[in-house]
């Protein structure tokens, strides 16, 4: 009888944790979408789909877009390992604010500019390293 009660308690605990985890994941996915991640994914779908003939583009876009749920889920799990549920809730509030919306709308541009600066810096470092390599 003790084993049965323990098993029932264990199953109930797992069920509650799974529900909590599901809500946490849903909120984390909301956060990811608020940050502009969706725009980046849609741009990637469009860029990769540039090689698809125009008459097949709609079918390609539909199928490619269906892969996003799994990608969001996997990325959410990464964030859930690094942030608490409370952290994500605060981030969602921030990205729903005017400043958060502004940051989200500029994120892709800022990332691209940062990458260009990083590439230029990397080339500069390569030249410096080249001086000392011989």
| Closest by CA position to 30, among listed 112, 90, 81, 82 | 90
Instruction: Give the range among 13-22, 31-40, 50-59, 84-93 with minimum mean pLDDT.
Output: 13-22
Contacts of 105 (CB under 8 A, 6+ apart): 36
pTM confidence score = 0.70
| C-alpha pair distances (Å), 44 with each of 64, 91, 115 | 10, 25, 17
Contacts of 24 (CB under 8 A, 6+ apart): 80, 85, 88
Q: Where are the domains of the chain?
A: 2-96, 108-134
d(CA 51, CA 13): 50
**What is the percent of the chain with per-residue pLDDT over 70, rounded to a whole number?**
85
The stretch 10-31 carries a mean pLDDT of 71
- The pLDDT, as a whole number, for residue 15 is 44
């Amino acid at each position: 009888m003790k084993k049965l009660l323990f098993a029932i308690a264990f199953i109930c605990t797992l069920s509650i944790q799974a529900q909590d985890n599901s809500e946490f994941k849903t909120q984390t996915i909301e956060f990811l979408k608020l940050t502009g991640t969706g725009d980046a994914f849609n741009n990637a779908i469009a860029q990769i789909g540039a090689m698809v003939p125009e008459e097949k583009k709609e079918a390609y876009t539909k199928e490619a877009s269906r892969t996003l749920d799994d990608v969001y889920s996997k990325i959410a799990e990464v964030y859930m390992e690094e942030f608490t549920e409370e952290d994500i809730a605060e981030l969602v509030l921030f990205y729903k604010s005017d400043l958060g919306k502004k940051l989200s709308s500029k994120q892709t541009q800022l990332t691209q500019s940062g990458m260009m600066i990083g590439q230029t810096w990397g080339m500069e470092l390569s030249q410096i390293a080249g001086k000392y390599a011989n």
